[in-house]
């Protein structure tokens, strides 16, 4: 049994990896999924949230009792709200009003104030509102997950290290979706240093192919494609962009629950679908690992399952 930890943030990271057995086609490479749902608040964003707050504390920008404001599509907000509750901060999250009811209720359960902006304005609208709120609250702080290097840094220090340990370095391809770009940038950079041959693919919604040079648009891969290319995203780290349709993402999400016993969110479905396409190309004897960002429990209102 693990030792008793001093607070909930000490349980962030060290998430498990599972091999898919029933979904990949015969003759495909092995497909492994890193289950970030096992973080305390249920998503990969617990890592970035912890790092953002730690970094601000170390720089003397915040102290317990202060107010943190952040624009978010949901999971970073939930991770920040959990971290803030455990460490004595007030939390205000600004998000588009098309987020699922489960996400909003989770934020409120951690004591965060939720401010909604028009969905048509996407994340840029939430960012503008967050800046407006900061101007009204002297001493408040915006971590800015889209520009803060503490975001990808935590993945260099933890996610990539865990993957190397869990795979023994036996890895041929790595797949992740991109919201802020922190996960694929930090993890990808660290893995590529150790495994120069590694093929890295970034997943984006077919309906909002911004990384491919297209225009932002509506899609159901919640938490991906904020409608712009974040400054922290290293666009040279990935070798391939895979566009995934809502249909493929949602059908794979449902199949993961029914055939693998994995209840995950739609961005996880997209990540797994993309990983399986690469696995078909690579063939037997190879291994693909993808990141499953969160749990499916916060998407029940989307009628995926």
pLDDT at 232: 97
- Give the SS3 label for residue 267: helix
User: How far apart are alpha carbons 286 and 107 in whole angstroms?
Assistant: 40
pLDDT in tens, the chain (305 residues): 568 999 999 999 999 999 999 999 999 999 999 999 999 999 999 999 999 999 999 999 999 999 999 998 789 999 999 999 999 999 999 998 888 888 889 999 999 999 999 988 888 899 999 999 999 999 899 999 999 999 999 999 999 999 999 999 999 999 999 999 999 999 999 999 999 999 999 999 999 999 999 999 989 998 898 889 999 999 999 999 999 999 999 999 999 999 999 999 999 999 999 999 999 999 999 999 999 999 999 899 888 98
Output the pTM of the full model.
0.94
Neighbouring C-beta atoms of residue 242, cutoff 10 Å: 20
| Residue 56, both tokens | 């601000």
List the domains of the chain with CATH numbers.
8-39+149-302 (3.40.50.1100), 45-136 (3.40.50.1100)
User: Which of left, alpha, beta for 225 (phi over 0: left; psi -120 to 50: alpha)?
Assistant: left
User: How far apart are alpha carbons 83 and 244 in whole angstroms?
Assistant: 32
| Residue 48, both tokens | 């970035």
Query: Which residues are the active-site residues?
Result: 45, 267
Residue 141 φ then ψ, to 5°: -140, 135
Instruction: Classify residue 66 by burial, with Cβ atoms within 10 Å: 0-12, 13-18, 19+.
Output: middle
Any alpha helices (H) in the chain, and if so which ranges? 45-58, 75-87, 101-109, 122-136, 150-154, 160-167, 182-194, 246-260, 266-282
Alpha-carbon torsion angle 235, 209, 157, 298, nearest 10: 170
User: How far apart are alpha carbons 161 and 196 in whole angstroms?
Assistant: 15
Beta carbons of 139 and 65 less than 8 angstroms apart: no
């Amino acid at each position: 049994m693990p030792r008793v930890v001093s607070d909930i943030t000490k349980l962030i990271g060290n998430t498990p990896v599972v091999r898919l057995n029933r979904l990949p086609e015969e003759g495909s490479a092995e497909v492994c999924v890193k289950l970030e749902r096992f973080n305390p608040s249920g998503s990969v964003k617990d890592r970035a949230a912890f790092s953002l707050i730690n970094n601000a504390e170390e720089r003397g920008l915040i102290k317990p009792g202060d107010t943190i404001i952040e624009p978010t599509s949901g999971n970073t907000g939930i991770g920040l709200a959990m971290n803030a509750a455990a460490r004595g901060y007030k939390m205000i999250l600004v998000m588009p009003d098309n987020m699922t009811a489960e996400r909003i209720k989770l934020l409120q359960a951690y004591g965060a104030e939720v401010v909604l902006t028009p969905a048509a304005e996407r994340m840029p609208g939430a960012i503008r509102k967050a800046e407006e709120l900061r101007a009204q609250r002297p001493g408040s702080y915006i971590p800015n997950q889209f520009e803060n290097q503490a975001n990808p840094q935590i993945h260099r220090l933890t996610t990539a290290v865990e993957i190397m340990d869990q795979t023994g370095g036996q890895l041929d391809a790595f797949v992740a979706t991109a919201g802020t770009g922190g996960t694929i940038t930090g993890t990808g950079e660290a893995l590529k240093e150790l495994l120069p041959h590694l093929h890295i693919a970034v997943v984006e919604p077919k309906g909002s192919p911004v990384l491919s040079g297209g225009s932002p648009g509506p899609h159901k891969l919640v938490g991906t494609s904020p409608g712009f290319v974040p400054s922290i995203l290293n666009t040279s780290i990935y070798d391939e962009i895979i566009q995934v349709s809502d249909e493929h993402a949602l059908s794979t999400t449902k199949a993961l629950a029914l055939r693998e016993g994995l209840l995950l969110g739609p961005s996880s479905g997209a990540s797994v679908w993309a990983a399986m396409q690469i696995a078909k190309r690579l063939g037997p004897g190879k291994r693909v690992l993808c990141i499953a960002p969160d749990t499916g429990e916060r998407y029940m209102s989307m009628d995926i399952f």
